Amino acid sequence: MRRHLLIALITLIASGVGRLASAQALKTVEHLAPPLSFDRLGNADGLPNSDIRAIVQDRRGFLWFGTQDGLARYDGTTVRVFRPNETDPASISGAYITALTVDSTGKLWVGTAENGVNLYDPETDRFTRFVTGAKGSLSGDGVTAIARDAKDRMWFALSSGGLNRFDPATKTFVEYLTGALETTVTAMAVDKAGSLWLGTVSDGALRWNPDDGTTTSYRPTPGDDSGLGASPITSVLVASTGQIWFGSDGDGLTAFDPASKKLTHYRHAANNPATISDDHVSALLEDRQHNLWIGTTNGLNRMAATGGLVQFHHDPNDATSLAFPGVESLYQDAGGVVWVGGFTVGVCKFDELRVKFGHYRTRTHSANSYFEDPDALWVGTYNGGLYKYDWAAQRVTHYQSLGTPGAPGAVSLESTWIAALHRDRRGTLWMALKGQGLIAFDSNTEGYQQYLPDPKNANSLPVDTIWDIWEDERGALWLATWGGGLVRFDPKLDTFTAITADESGGISSNHLYALYPDPIDAKQLWIGTAKGGLVRYDTAAGTGTSFRHKDDDPTSLSNDDVLTVYRDKTSVWVGTYGGGLNRLDPATGKAQRMTVSNSQLPNDVIFGVLPDDDGKLWLSTNGGGLVQLDPKTGKALVYHVSDGVQDNEFGQGSFKRSKSGKLYFGGVGGFNAFLPRDITRDPYVPPVVMTGFKVFNQEVKLDRPVWTLPPVGVSYSDSFELQFAALSFAAPGKNRYAYKLEGFDDKFIETDRPFATYTKLDGGNYTLRIRAANRHGAWNETGLALAVSVSPPIWRTWPAFALYLVVLAVVVYLLFRMQQQKVRRIERDSRLAVVERDLALSGAVQSGFLPEYNEINSAGLQLFGFYRAADACSGDWWWHEASGGRHVVLVGDVTGHGPGPAMVTAAVATAFRVITGNGLPDVQRALELLNQVVLQVAKGNYHMTMAAVELDESTGRWVFYNAGAPPMLSLDHTGKHTVHFCAGSPLGTETEFEIGRVEGQLAPSGRILLYTDGIPEITLPNGNVLGMRKFAQMYEGTRATDLRGAAAGLVQLADQTQAGQPQADDWTFTLLEWRGNRTGSVPFQRQPPELG
């Protein structure tokens, strides 16, 4: 008897189970919410108001949102708002939008709360207002619902009672307000037979046939719970099955079967997530999968076509939850996205494809380790505890502590990193904790035992941090430790044996990341190390082989930090920290490297590698998203947050493949649980539309809306931008574009930016072709085509070509006469010598009219001027005057070269000094006087362009005056430039002389650049000119330096651009920087010229 008891005791001790005594874990149990996530669009994105009453998509693909303060149109990038304008009868009549419907012609009907109904024509971008008053007009100004029936008739429900029908032939309304219709209709829907189903405030529901006038009433009966309730009907939906759904403001949801006349009620039950979330139903929608969406004042519900209901609520701690508690409207767009309008915040959108990735969140949003039981998933987190997800019971258990918190031996799970989980063959769940050793946990009794290093026990755990756990066929646990090497734990004997890098033939590092048992050779264990590469360890022989990075060997591993290992039939796949992915041949030890630079990988940190059932590999990265890699072709598909993955940043060791083939990947935003075959690509081919047209960054108003593709015209000197949009709203930030300007571009230019910019095109006719793709590369190959006409400069028009022919004839004639003029050559040479002396004299005279100093500083302003002539004398000039904190800077350029232009410049400079002799005058008046001076001096032979800026040093306000000069460029403190264009006539214009004028405000450290055309018209080696856009980019590149350095940088870049060619025109510019409103006064400080 004693022998049997001894054997039983030994068996109990050897099993390792008896030591896990029962204990009490601190835990909570909650309902497991479905893995749905929402994106948000609100006021910060451009919506005029956060209360979204109606949503619709028009024929072109634009989305429209009706709010309490305006109508908004959304193209995926920008929001355009329509509000009433009392001075414009073609604007919308009211801002409080209650209903939206598109008619059969593509026009948009807009109902308002108090201002009637509007008809928006997208071909003209104008509204037609219909309000009460005249005969045949709308019978009430409050519109509650709009519907289009099977005969394309438009019906309007009015808050004052009854219905109105619009007659398109007479553009009048017919009123229906008799009998049962003499009530306030709140909701409206049309069935397949053409009947209107009407929800009312107090009379239940009506079925009305507009063709024969028959009406069937479904009125509430007091005390009869089987009928419709007495609460107002808020929404009506005719389902694809023919069933009629009624949402009410207090009596929940009711389904009506027209065939059986049976009513089925759905009511809210407290603490029952399988019922609707509230009895105040506000909106209904049937999606393409025939799921019923139910919006209430307390959350959103989705009833599956196969049965079953789930609720979605607002969680203030979860930015991907429903953004608001109260739902106002529901809509599904052409791409399948479900839009949810709220009473606050704005609108949310739900994408069905994102759900396939099964995104689950923990309290701290992290997920680091996994173990799957037959009925549950265990998830370890970083400082968030341990989670058990029970899929069948739809509940999640959150373990915060083992043992009573504060009691001796208690282990907090919310202040540690649970790096690895493993359940052994005896049923014990093992947890590896960073800094807290190893824990054996009995999930049935909640008993546990913690293993920590013990300096007095040579057989104890050598270090307290473990990153991975593997169980061999004998039941021993192998531990990848941080600093203690590879450790083998014998649960029967409670002993730890360390295998360290100090031992010959063993492992190459004591800091280990990952353990991977070879699926082909059971004796081999692959070990990922820190700084030691990859190790193949023979657990039977106790020997290891290392695979390391070698600088001189491109077939070696790319990096010695190995985070993950996976082996298929032919290769070992090695994920590294910074070296991308390696495909290692285990026989030869040679590796094929895949990095960002030579493959389609988005990131060189590979945390996890898992296979799917179709031969693809799934890779988690550090910021590059989740990657599906085809090993045969090398093609990679990348999934980001917008596709449904938990975050673009994943975590070390946070990956697992279940026996069923489900993959788990986690990171800083929770974890994904999905079957790879469920992940499908978005097939929706998006429409592409034009959305804007700008010249010199200013919106251009066309004869008709740009989305109707009117031909656009620009000048050869214009910098213009054409804007477009792909109307796929699931992930608009991932939409792609390809554009080509036929006649200029050789091939399509692919980009993620929804605009194309061109500068200084040659005159002629072009065609801009634009294609677009959705987030997953489904391209609209047809795209659109826009005609672009560029008017040439006057010297490249047909009249100019005719003049060239005349000139050519004259030249031929002159060449013939040259033979007869040889005798006069000596006399001509003498005259040339005299001219050269005149040029030198003119140049000296001109230089005397430039400022003596080119750098000026005051308390609130710094100015730097630059001038470099191309010839001995020229026509460029600049000047600065100041008085009482008011500064005026001028930059001018006379056409042509030689004494004539130089003398015109001298006359203008002298005249301006005379004008300013008694103080600074009105700048516009001064320019008008200078125009008269040029007329008198040049006699029509020369013109002078002039740019002037007037700056108030105390406020930073500026006024730019333009007399035929290039536009002014301003630069903010971030380095972003703005072009300020205003047309004007050059000085010397006899008739219709005009001065352009525009004003603005500089922020502190803001800069202004005035310049002549010398640098922008530098001829490049390819024959093209530098142009305004590149000149502006050169200007932006000087932002990081002070004003003197900016001027020097601009000149240096111009010299480099000339590529050794002689300077063809004068270079003149001034730079101003406003330092802000500074107290006190500092006298001007001047510096003599140094640049040039």
Helix 923-938 × helix 899-915 angle, to 10°: 140
Q: What is the pLDDT of residue 15?
A: 36
Q: What is the pLDDT of residue 18?
A: 39
Closest to 731 in 3D by CA, of 360, 337, 345: 337
Domains identified in the chain and CATH numbers: 50-156 (2.130.10.10), 417-678 (2.130.10.10), 688-792 (2.60.40.10), 796-841 (no CATH), 848-1087 (3.60.40.10)
Residue 236: both structure tokens together: 């009506």
- pLDDT single digits (tens) 1035-1069: 888 888 888 888 888 999 888 888 888 888 889 99
Sign of the alpha-carbon torsion through 916, 920, 921, 922: positive
What residues in the chain have per-residue pLDDT under 50? 1-19, 823, 826-828, 830-845, 1079-1084, 1092
Closest to 926 in 3D by CA, of 909, 943, 951: 909
Q: Are 255 and 241 in contact (CB under 8 A)?
A: no
Residue 140: both structure tokens together: 């009430």
For the chain, the helix, strand and coil percentages under 3-state DSSP, each to the nearest 5: 15, 40, 45
Question: How many Cα neighbours within 13 Å face the side chain of 25?
Answer: 28
Q: What is the pLDDT of residue 781?
A: 97
Q: What is the per-residue DSSP string for 116-170?
A: -EEEEETTTTEEEEE-SSSTTS-S-S-EEEEEE-TT--EEEEETTSSEEEEETTT
The pTM for the full model equals 0.70
Q: What is the pLDDT of residue 57?
A: 99
List all residues 6 or more positions away from 445 whose beta carbon is below 8 Å from its beta carbon.
Answer: 20, 21, 22, 23
Q: Are 559 and 579 in contact (CB under 8 A)?
A: yes
Q: What is the pLDDT of residue 911?
A: 85
Burial of 641 (0-12, 13-18, 19+ CB in 10 A): buried
Closest to 238 in 3D by CA, of 147, 352, 112: 147
